[in-house]
Each structure stands twice: as C-alpha cells, then as structure tokens.
C-alpha cells in the first residue's frame, strides 16, 4: 500500500462516520441507521484501494496526521449562488465540471432593459488543475474567488490537515485569510473617501492635520496626501515600533523621522512597507474622529457585507475566531515554518498597511464594489468619480527605489506595469491582464485585482510564503490560467511580455 493510498483511505473515514450519523450510507461503510458512540470502533472492510480490514476508534482518528501530497479537496460554488458550496463527495474528492452557460431571469419589460444576461463560464477541470499544480508544493492551503461581470464565477478552498485539533475539518468560505499588504487598498479607500467627503485636496499637506504637539521631522511639511498614497513621501522605515509600541508612540516615531536625503516628495519613489500607512491611519482618525480600525469597520466593511474582515482585530474577537484564522507559513528547505504574522499581538494591534484578515469571498466583494464604481447591492461607499481617481495612474515611469524597477501607481493601488518589460517585477497580474488592471498583493501570499476590460475580479490568498522567485512564478502561472480557462486569452498569448 503506497503512502498516497494510505492518506486517502484515512481521509474518508471521518466523512463516512458523518454520513452514518445522518442516517445515510457512505461507500465502504456499514449500513447502520444509528450512529455509533464516540468511543465505538468502526470496522472498514477490505476495499479496492488495498486497505485490509482496518479498524479505527476515536483515539486513532485524533492522532492521525495527513501530509500535503496526499490530500486534494477542492470546493466549487460553480457560480450558482454566492456563499453556497457544494458538499464534497463521500470519498473526500470533488468531481470538477465545466459550468454551463446560464441566463438570468428576464428583466422587467422596460425601455433599454437588458434581458438574458449571460452568466460566466469556466473550464473548471483545466483551471482547478492549473491552480493546484501552481500552489500545492508551497502552501498548506489556499482560498480564491473569481467574479465576472459582477457575479461570482468560481470559488476554490483547499487545505491539508496537520492534526484534528488544528482545524482538520477542512476550510470553508468562512476561513479568515491574512491578506498582508492587500490591506493598503482598504486604507487608501478609507482615506480618499474622507478627503472627498471633507473636500480636501489630494495635494493638501498632511502637516496641517497632524497634532501640533508632536515633533515633526525636517521637511515633513512638504508631504501631501498624494505622496503618502503613491509611495513618494520619502519616510521609508522598518522599525516603527509595531506591535509592541502603542498607536500614538508609533505615529510619533514615524513623524519624527526626516525625509530621506536627496528625496523630493513626489519626484522620487520607493515602496513604503508600513510607515506611511500608519500616518494615513492617523489622518483618518484626525479628520473623522474615530479610530482608524473602527472607521473601516463602520464605513466600509459593514455596508459592503464584510462582517468577517478586520484591520486590527479586538482581542476578544481574536479569541473567538482563533480556530477560523488560517496560519501563515514560511516555505523553507526543511518544510513549512509557522510565521508570527497571525499571532495575537500582530492581529490585534492595527497596521493599516499590512494586517488585514478576512474571508476571501468578502475581500472579493470589496473589490467588486470598486469595480462597480463604489457600490454593491445598493450600498454606495464611494463616489464613482472618486473610484476613477483612485485607480488612475498618478505615478508613472518612476523607478521604485525599494523594488528597483518601474511600477505605476494609483492612489494606493498598483496599476498593471508589464509594459516596462521587467519579467521579475513584483506585484504583477499575469501576462493577459489588460493595461487598466489595478489591485494590490501582499507578503508573497495574496493578491486581489480588477481587470475592467475583462469584467474580472480576482481575490486569492494562500498560506505558504516561499522565496520571491517561486512566488512570482506560481502566481504568474495561476493568473495566466484564469484568463485562459475563462476563454479570455489563448494559451501562451502574451508569454513574452
């Protein structure tokens, strides 16, 4: 019996028990109407997979460990209805089928009304294979949702289990994924929303809105809101004090930092990992009056139907949700090493540029609202003109001093930059993305973007962080497969870009 068959055989046992408890009969399990007691033994007769007269009890199942190469379990909602998943088959496998073309119910008979709206279709077999091949060796789980023309087109959830007590029941759409720097777009949306509401220019100087009693670094009076949002402010720093320092201590430390030598704000660019985003969070607090994390919850996540999303999760919420937060792992030569990014300290203390967490379907809703001009399900959170300003190119052709390549930026978003010809540039959206594609990625583990020309929204988070080159290659393969299997591009087209 191979290791693979052993892993699959063990996987099906809990599923079989669940079917028996429900009064049904699972393949290979005794036809019992009553569920056995928790301490009962379950006998599995010999089967075609080579397992011979296996007996399991509760203790053996609790001690069992499943390893990554042995388990594949993909769920797909097939675009039928957002938030609903098909149940896996009793064997713990999913039969993937292409989604047939469907039409929406006829619209009211009004002048100009659209009738028979085509639903998106996807070559599910090809896409599922491509996604799993690209990710399986460098993650312990992933969650993804595609939306096309405003409708969910495809959802994938997959994970392997280390032991039953660490979430081995399998992931669902409720699994909260750490989205790292994808959080920056959420902060940018909060900031631009407030600037719009208060009629404040993007080019207004931030010093006018910071506390007068704080020591401000030399030349900080030159920095505008636009500079912060486009990574051109020149206050890059890694030691912000977060999460050990308080919010006020972190802001004071950043504001006391001088602009880097020979750096003119707006004329030089370099990715700011965290510092400028803490300042943006403080500006939200100063202009609105509410703490940044509360403003985001009440003005963005709440109206958009995103109750599972947080940037700065209250300690009591973190305690209740601990079992539903996917851990992050660094992929090293010796295997997967758990990261501290999902520790209590780094989830509770808000970091506006980097510690967002939430279900992938809710993140897709956020991007879908922007793709629709700032509105979703009748709730408007941003004016259409503000969305257009947010995703326009405000920074063009500048060499990013952090990434050492050219990247174009909107207000907190990265706009497709493959026309510069650097195949190793970070945060790309693949060879087929249109020139107006915008979004953000994070920590070699997440990406979310909108391609307005294709009517496409993609949100993806994995929990394995490999080296930069491995991550870039796997996401390039994945984003290419999205377009190809949706029929938006021919295989291999644009590969030379």
Q: Does position 436 have pLDDT exceeding 90, yes or no? A: yes
The Cα–Cα gap between 436 and 421 comes to 16
pLDDT given at position 36: 35
Q: Does position 48 have pLDDT exceeding 60, yes or no? A: no
Residue 189 pLDDT grade (very low, low, confident, very high; cuts 50, 70, 90)? very high
SS (H, E, C) 152-164: EEEEEEEECCCCH
Average pLDDT across the chain, whole number: 76
Stretch 292-312: mean pLDDT:
97
219 against 445, higher pLDDT: 445
Q: Does position 445 have pLDDT exceeding 60, yes or no? A: yes
Q: Does position 169 have pLDDT exceeding 70, yes or no? A: no
CB-based contact 399:406 (threshold 8 Å): yes
The Cα–Cα gap between 348 and 316 comes to 9
Stretch 458-474: mean pLDDT:
90
Q: Does position 397 have pLDDT exceeding 60, yes or no? A: yes
The percentage of the chain sitting over the pLDDT mark of 90, rounded to a whole number, equals 53
Residue linked to tokens 């750490």: 178
Domain ranges within the chain, ordered by starting residue: 3-64, 73-184+298-485
Q: What homologous superfamily does CATH list for 73-184+298-485?
A: DD-peptidase/beta-lactamase superfamily (3.40.710.10)
pLDDT tens per residue across span 226-236: 999 999 999 99
Q: Does position 278 have pLDDT exceeding 60, yes or no? A: yes
CB atoms inside a 10 Å sphere around CB 306: 22
Residue linked to tokens 């907190």: 412
- Percent helix, percent strand, percent coil in the chain, to nearest 5: 30, 15, 50
Q: Does position 186 have pLDDT exceeding 80, yes or no? A: yes
Gyration radius of the chain over CA positions: 24
Residue 140, judged by CB atoms within 10 A of its CB (0-12, 13-18, 19+), counts as: buried
Long-range contact pairs involving 206-211 (C-beta distance under 8 Å, separation at least 24): 206/279, 206/283, 209/283, 209/286, 209/287, 210/255, 210/279, 210/282, 210/283, 210/286, 211/286
370 against 492, higher pLDDT: 370
pLDDT given at position 411: 98
Q: Does position 85 have pLDDT exceeding 50, yes or no? A: no
363 against 167, higher pLDDT: 363
Residue 494 pLDDT grade (very low, low, confident, very high; cuts 50, 70, 90)? low
Q: Does position 163 have pLDDT exceeding 60, yes or no? A: no
The pTM of this model reads 0.74
pLDDT given at position 159: 72
The percentage of the chain sitting over the pLDDT mark of 70, rounded to a whole number, equals 72
Side-chain-side CA neighbours of residue 373 (13 Å):
4
The Cα–Cα gap between 425 and 403 comes to 8
Residue 132 pLDDT grade (very low, low, confident, very high; cuts 50, 70, 90)? confident
pLDDT tens per residue across span 34-47: 333 334 444 444 44
DSSP class of residue 224?
B
3-state class (DSSP) for residue 121: coil
- Highest-confidence segment of 132-141, 157-166, 177-186, 335-344: 177-186
Strands (E), 181-221: none
Phi, psi of 299 (to 5 degrees): -100, -20
pLDDT given at position 47: 41
Strands (E), 128-201: 141-148, 151-159, 176-180
pLDDT given at position 248: 94
Q: Does position 6 have pLDDT exceeding 50, yes or no? A: no
pLDDT tens per residue across span 310-369: 999 999 999 988 888 988 888 887 778 889 999 999 999 999 999 999 999 999 999 999
Residue 59 pLDDT grade (very low, low, confident, very high; cuts 50, 70, 90)? low
CB-based contact 376:368 (threshold 8 Å): yes
């Amino acid at each position: 019996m191979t290791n693979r068959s052993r892993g699959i055989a063990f996987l099906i046992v809990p599923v079989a028990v669940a079917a028996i408890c429900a009064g049904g009969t699972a393949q290979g399990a005794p036809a019992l109407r009553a569920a056995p007691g928790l301490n009962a033994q379950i006998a599995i007769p010999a089967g075609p997979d080579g397992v011979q007269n296996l007996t399991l009890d509760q203790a053996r199942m609790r001690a069992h460990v499943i390893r990554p190469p042995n388990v594949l379990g993909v769920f797909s909602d097939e675009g039928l209805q957002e938030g609903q998943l098909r149940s896996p088959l009793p064997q713990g496998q999913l039969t993937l089928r292409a989604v047939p073309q469907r039409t929406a119910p006829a619209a009211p008979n009004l002048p100009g009304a659209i009738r028979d709206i085509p639903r998106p279709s996807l070559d599910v077999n090809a896409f599922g294979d491509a996604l799993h091949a690209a990710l399986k060796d460098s993650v312990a789980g992933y969650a993804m949702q595609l939306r096309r023309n405003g409708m969910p087109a495809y959802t994938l959830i997959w994970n392997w289990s280390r032991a039953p007590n660490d979430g081995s029941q399998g992931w669902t759409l409720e699994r909260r994924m750490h989205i790292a720097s994808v959080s920056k777009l959420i902060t940018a949306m909060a900031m631009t929303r407030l600037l719009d509401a208060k009629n404040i220019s993007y080019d207004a100087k931030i010093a006018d809105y910071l506390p007068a009693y704080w020591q401000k670094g030399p030349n900080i009076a030159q920095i505008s809101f636009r500079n912060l949002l486009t990574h051109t402010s020149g206050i890059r720093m890694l030691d912000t004090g977060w999460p050990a320092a308080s919010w006020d201590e972190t802001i004071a430390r950043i504001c006391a930092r001088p602009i880097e030598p020979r750096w003119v704000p707006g004329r030089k660019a370099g990715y700011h990992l965290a510092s400028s985003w803490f300042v943006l969070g403080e500006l939200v607090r100063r202009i609105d009056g509410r703490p940044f994390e509360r403003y985001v919850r009440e003005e963005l996540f709440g109206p958009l139907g995103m109750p599972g999303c947080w940037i700065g999760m209250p300690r009591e919420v973190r305690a209740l949700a601990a079992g539903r937060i996917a851990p992050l792992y660094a992929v090293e030569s010796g295997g997967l090493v758990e990261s501290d990014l999902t520790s209590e300290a780094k989830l509770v203390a808000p970091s506006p540029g980097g510690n967002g967490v939430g279900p992938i379907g809710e993140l897709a809703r956020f991007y879908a609202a922007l793709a629709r001009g700032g509105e979703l399900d009748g709730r408007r959170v941003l004016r259409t003109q503000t969305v257009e300003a947010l995703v326009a190119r405000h920074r063009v052709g500048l060499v990013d001093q952090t990434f050492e390549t050219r990247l174009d930026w909107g207000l907190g978003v990265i706009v497709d930059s493959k026309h510069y010809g650097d195949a190793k540039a970070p945060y790309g959206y693949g060879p087929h993305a249109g020139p107006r594609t915008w979004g953000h990625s994070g920590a070699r583990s997440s990406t979310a973007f909108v391609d307005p020309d294709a009517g496409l929204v993609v949100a993806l988070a994995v929990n394995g962080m490999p080296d930069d080159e491995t991550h870039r290659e796997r996401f390039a393969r994945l984003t290419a497969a999205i377009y190809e299997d949706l029929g938006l591009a021919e295989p291999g087209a644009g590969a030379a870009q």
